[in-house]
Structure 1
């Protein structure tokens, strides 16, 4: 296989590994608040929103050390061991206890930081300036198939169920645990690209720590410490660059809307008694529609990257408009107390007669808009920080996850219309700062092209 084909195959395997893992984890996140409301036990007093807030809070803090971990053991083992912790979190729901629930939440937060930093490292090392957009789109589309398969399973398993029994819960989470483990082992199929096929500028580790090739004049311990410290310092330097500070507002918005579409909106749909007895199973259909939007956006914007003469800004503008339409329709269609309603649901009506079709259309629009923002952020960060991709993606996930943690925290208390207002304001500001970062990146690229000529 030629070097370019080998690198493309690595991206595809990476996408399939994440697809299996997040088929399990995203489905788990989508249904866990509904499952917890249906779980009657004096030994369990957990909250799905609180758990996700812990996950993303620990995730954000752990991004400070994640580049060091990836530098020391390499991204392949980093992704594998992180995946095992994800599987443990899902398996916990088979027999949940409050202590194990929140302990697993902390461990998944640490694992997430390492997993996504390693993913960004693999993506950057297997891409060039001309293929980073395409590869980001391919990875994103494959990842988002997870929403389709996982939620289709939920719809079939829970169709017609008004109450989720212990047997329903156990069957679903045993299946999701097995699916997650399959994804973990797929990471071992990724191969290190040939040295001559990689960018000469890129010197980061891929499948093994570079310390194994270090000079014999220094001890392995000092080499590992030096790599870890260097990765941390690089992350701190990248965090305060002009480009990253501009992108941080847009990244923060993706954290807020990630919380909304992955945890809050499905809970809202399941709480709407006016949707009938199938309201709980509609959570699965909603997740499928989100996935279709994500897959369509990731595929189209990734494949058309080379043909896009206008840069990344039009795609982000499309994402902003798409999300604004979705937020307005949700405001009209979903009762304001739906995020906080008890298991019995809410009988309140918003401003129009509740429509399942409108609710599912909004799910699709949420997914499409999210793919617009994330594919372009992956692309621009991979382009701007190619020489230090692992620390750069760690900073990306640090900002995104701390905002997601904040959003899951306030989701315990704020009515729907206040949550939508926060999303509208942050989405507008994030888009404006992205436009500025893109213009700066384009001017830098033109200067580089001129210098090379």
Structure 2
């Protein structure tokens, strides 16, 4: 197999592994607040929103040490062991206890930081400047197929049900746990990419111990040094002009991640005006979010037709798409839907609630999210190729801390306040992304001029 074919296969395997794991975890996150509301037990007093807030808060802090973990054990083992923690968190819902629920929330926050930093590292190692946009789109589109399968099952299994029984819950979460375990083993199929012909490659220092020369032995002192250097590099990168500007779109991606992955599905399930199909709509909404994500990843990544125009048009499309979705949600969904009790909300929306409008908004949320994330992954991988693990750690640090804040305030804020926060942050984040991308375009022009 050619070097180009091998790296492309690695990207596909990486995307498939994430697709399988997040088929399980994404479905879990989408339904857990609804499941918890239906769980009758004096032994359990947890909140899905609070759990997610804990996960993303720990996730944020753990991003500072994630590059050190990857420098020591390599991205493949980092992906595998992190994936096991995801499986453990899902398994908790088979028979929930408050203590185990929140303990796994903390552990998952640590695992998520390692998982996503390793993903960014492997994506960059297997990409060139000319393929980073394409590979980002391929990975994103493959991963977002995860929104189809689990949510499709939820739609058919829970359709017409106003209450989720213990048997319903256990069947779903046993299945999701097994699926997530299968995904963990796919990461061992990733091969070491062929070395570049250039005499030195800065990204070579990031090659993992488990896919580099298996006969090499790294002294413990060297491992400690690598871990410390990776941590120091993350702090230094966070203070650069580009990272400070990109931190606002990073933050926006965390806010809207919270909304589409946890809050919006809960809102649909709480709308009594949708009748007995309200709970089933959670799954259908997740599917349409996935359609939007895959379409965005395909158009802006796989086809890679927008490179000649830069990344700014795609990000602007993402902002426009989200603002349209937020406005329609504001009109269509009752304000107290995010915090309504199990029996649902009795408040009226500004228009007669429409299932069609609600599902169109699901698609728009997914499409807008893919616009932002494919371009953020692409620009981070392009600007910080030599320090990809540290750069993606900073990305996930900012994204996850804002997601934690958003999951926390989702326990208390009415819908219109949550939408307003996202609109303001998204508008400001788009402007700062434009500034960074203009700098990239300017530097390319200068480089082309110098080469004449």
Give the TM-score of the pair, scaled to structure 1: 0.97
CA distance in 2, matches of 1:306, 1:206: 30
Q: Which residue in 2 is equivalent to 1:38? A: 38
Q: Which residue in 2 is equivalent to 1:208? A: 209
CA distance in 1, matches of 2:354, 2:9: 43
8 A Cα contact 1:130 1:306, kept in partner: no
Q: Deviations over 1:185-239 (max 9, x none)?
A: 00000000111379834223344269978998xx711100000001011111110
Q: Which moved more, 1:317-326 or 1:202-211?
A: 202-211
Q: Which residue in 1 is equivalent to 2:320? A: 321
Q: Which residue in 1 is equivalent to 2:349? A: 350
8 A Cα contact 2:300 2:306, kept in partner: no
Q: Deviations over 1:351-400 (max 9, x none)?
A: 10000000000000000000000000000000000000000000000000
1:103-114 equivalent positions in 2, closer than 5 A: 103-114=103-114
8 A Cα contact 2:70 2:208, kept in partner: no
Q: Which residue in 2 is equivalent to 1:260? A: 259
Q: Which residue in 2 is equivalent to 1:298? A: 297
Cα distance, 1:162 vs. partner?
1.2
Is the counterpart of residue 141 in structure 1 residue 141 in structure 2? yes
8 A Cα contact 1:211 1:224, kept in partner: no
CA distance in 2, matches of 1:74, 1:274: 51
Cα distance, 1:436 vs. partner?
0.3
CA distance change for structure 1 residues 376 and 307 in 2, over 3 Å: closer, same or farther? closer
Tell me the number of residue pairs that the alignment of Structure 1 and Structure 2 aligns.
451
Is the counterpart of residue 99 in structure 1 residue 99 in structure 2? yes
Q: Which residue in 2 is equivalent to 1:368? A: 367
Q: Give 5+ residue unaligned stretches, structure 2.
A: none
CA distance in 1, matches of 2:211, 2:85: 25
8 A Cα contact 2:192 2:212, kept in partner: no
8 A Cα contact 1:192 1:207, kept in partner: no
Q: Which residue in 2 is equivalent to 1:161? A: 161
CA distance in 1, matches of 2:9, 2:348: 50
8 A Cα contact 1:21 1:179, kept in partner: yes
Q: Which residue in 1 is equivalent to 2:80? A: 80
Q: Which moved more, 1:155-164 or 1:73-82?
A: 155-164
CA distance in 2, matches of 1:213, 1:444: 39
CA distance change for structure 1 residues 65 and 209 in 2, over 3 Å: closer, same or farther? farther
CA distance in 1, matches of 2:445, 2:96: 56
CA distance in 2, matches of 1:79, 1:204: 19
CA distance in 2, matches of 1:36, 1:122: 36
**SS of aligned partner of 2:112:** helix
CA distance change for structure 1 residues 46 and 196 in 2, over 3 Å: closer, same or farther? same
CA distance in 1, matches of 2:114, 2:134: 24
CA distance in 2, matches of 1:168, 1:56: 28
1:408-447 equivalent positions in 2, closer than 5 A: 408-447=407-446
CA distance in 1, matches of 2:116, 2:18: 10
Cα distance, 1:306 vs. partner?
4.8
1:15-30 equivalent positions in 2, closer than 5 A: 15-30=15-30
Q: Which residue in 1 is equivalent to 2:188? A: 188
**SS of aligned partner of 1:203:** helix
CA distance in 1, matches of 2:440, 2:104: 40
8 A Cα contact 2:75 2:208, kept in partner: yes
CA distance in 2, matches of 1:197, 1:38: 59
CA distance in 2, matches of 1:448, 1:387: 19
**SS of aligned partner of 1:305:** coil
CA distance change for structure 1 residues 200 and 339 in 2, over 3 Å: closer, same or farther? same
**SS of aligned partner of 1:359:** helix
Q: Which residue in 1 is equivalent to 2:127? A: 127
CA distance in 2, matches of 1:105, 1:237: 29
**SS of aligned partner of 2:206:** coil
Q: Deviations over 1:160-197 (max 9, x none)?
A: 21110000000000000011011100000000011137
Q: Deviations over 1:226-253 (max 9, x none)?
A: 0000101111111011111110000100
8 A Cα contact 2:253 2:373, kept in partner: yes
CA RMSD of aligned residues (A): 1.6
8 A Cα contact 1:3 1:197, kept in partner: no
1:47-66 equivalent positions in 2, closer than 5 A: 47-66=47-66
Q: Give 5+ residue unaligned stretches, structure 1.
A: none
CA distance in 2, matches of 1:142, 1:343: 34
Q: Deviations over 1:38-69 (max 9, x none)?
A: 00000000000000000000000000000000
Q: Which moved more, 1:70-79 or 1:200-209?
A: 200-209
8 A Cα contact 1:72 1:211, kept in partner: no
Cα distance, 1:156 vs. partner?
1.6
